[in-house]
């Protein structure tokens, strides 16, 4: 499936879009982060997502489904948003 990165995650990854394998969001993100420790620590806090990191599948927050265990297919698009501050 397609994985899109936003904000500072783009800089850590070096690109804004990837194709990642996996049957769940966790598998896709683990594949994406396999060779990029800075990206992994920006997305994950241990086995869970960093606080305030939002992961969407086809425009829907994965927390409204099964979190990182949400099933995905090759046609899906995962979007990962880092914390955003401002006012």
Q: Is 18 exposed, middle or buried (0-12, 13-18, 19+ CB in 10 A)?
A: middle
Domains of the chain: 2-81 (3.10.20.30)
Q: Which pLDDT does position 83 carry in this prediction?
A: 80
Q: Which pLDDT does position 84 carry in this prediction?
A: 73
Q: What is this structure's pTM?
A: 0.91
Q: Which pLDDT does position 87 carry in this prediction?
A: 55
Low-confidence residues of the chain: pLDDT under 50: none
């Amino acid at each position: 499936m397609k994985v899109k990165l936003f904000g500072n995650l783009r800089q850590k990854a070096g690109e804004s879009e990837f194709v990642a394998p996996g049957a769940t969001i966790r598998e896709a993100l683990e594949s994406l982060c396999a060779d990029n420790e800075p990206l992994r620590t920006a997305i994950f806090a241990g086995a869970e997502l960093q606080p305030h990191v939002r992961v969407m599948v086809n425009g829907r927050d994965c927390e409204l489904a099964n979190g990182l265990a949400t099933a995905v297919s090759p046609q899906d698009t995962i979007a990962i948003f880092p914390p955003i501050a401002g006012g």
